Structure 1
């Protein structure tokens, strides 16, 4: 039989998840920066002060969503299981697909639309894992002779991030309502690893 503390912890976790789900709906309707705790409380069927038992502030809700989003993006880019330059391309494509399926969270993660919001170290930790994931793939590509050793430096990692963010930013700015396959700019994503290799050709 479930203990009372365990039951309370489960209910607490379920309520937090429900709050975050409602918050995402509000952000989708009002813009990411338009999140209102009063609106979330009304949709949850409670008074606004009750929300603060679960999240200390509006920014705490953003922080929890930021962590959820980074974990989701990390899981996506790590799914293909490819190595080297092929792995870079597969991870970029998997990440782009995740972004197209999670556009509200992606705005919070990659475009920082909320004035004054800075993620906590705990919530930002998965982003560092993503950085290490791509660094490992590029390192493998260098070892295989697919890329110049300079590709494994910080400038190379910055270029990879810029290539994918540029394509996705153009896509969401111009065609946010289409699928990954239909996108004018997402269809360029499979070519990004070749662009990266052209900048850092093997010696």
Structure 2
């Protein structure tokens, strides 16, 4: 038995039945072992969640990096990163719920685990700043308030999609198919003023 095997079973459980269905007993049952044996590898169920949080964020960063490798910092990379995050979330609803929502009362990822997620946030925030500096967006777009609004747009679409039509694809979903239109509305709202 390896940690990765246990995490594979845990990921399958949260994908099929939701994050709240995960228990040490369920993982052990899937592996054909007794629950106490898992405590050699994880200090608690929250330890499993922490490892899943790290696993999900590493995969997400890799997915976004692949999708944006030909983009320079700025507006286009910000928009494509957002599309990539949403695509990944639709393909990985179990991990996405753990990464982007708070489905487990009391679960807080360790600081070093959370740092993986912060790198993505910081990069997107920097892209927004570069977009404003380059004139792709108005100067007032370079603010934490505008960044929160921007993330709320994509998070809202993704949340609605997963809550109402979880089996649809990113392209065909009733909500995710509106992504480009929503992003365009954001860009138009913060378009630079004509000189």
Considering the TM-score relative to the shorter chain, is it more than 0.5? yes
CA shift at 1:198, angstroms?
2.4
* Distance in 2 separating the partners of 1:152 and 1:49: 51
* Higher mean C-alpha deviation, range 68-77 or range 41-50: 68-77
- 1:185 equivalenced with 2:175 (yes/no): yes
* Higher mean C-alpha deviation, range 49-58 or range 67-76: 67-76
* Distance in 2 separating the partners of 1:43 and 1:185: 34
1:8-57 Cα offsets, whole Å, 9 max, x none, are xxxxxx71000001111222333211211112112212211110000010
Q: Indicate conservation of the 8 Å contact 2:15/2:95, yes or no.
A: no
Structure-2 residue corresponding to 1:37: 24
Alignment size in residue pairs = 190
SS at match of 2:2: helix
Mapping 1:13-162, distance limit 5 Å: 15-79=2-66, 80-81=68-69, 82-83=71-72, 84-162=74-152
Question: What's the Cα RMSD here?
Answer: 1.5
1:85-127 Cα offsets, whole Å, 9 max, x none, are 2112111111111111111000111111011111111111122
CA shift at 1:78, angstroms?
2.9
- 1:202 equivalenced with 2:184 (yes/no): no
What runs of 5+ residues in structure 1 fail to find an aligned partner?
A: 1-13
* Distance in 2 separating the partners of 1:33 and 1:199: 39
1:35-86 Cα offsets, whole Å, 9 max, x none, are 1111211221221111000001000000000111112222223331323221
TM-score, length-scaled by structure 1: 0.88
TM-score, length-scaled by structure 2: 0.91
Closer, same or farther in 2 for the Cα pair 1:155/1:168, shift >3 Å?
Answer: same
Moved over 4 A (4+): none
SS at match of 1:134: helix
Q: Indicate conservation of the 8 Å contact 1:89/1:192, yes or no.
A: no
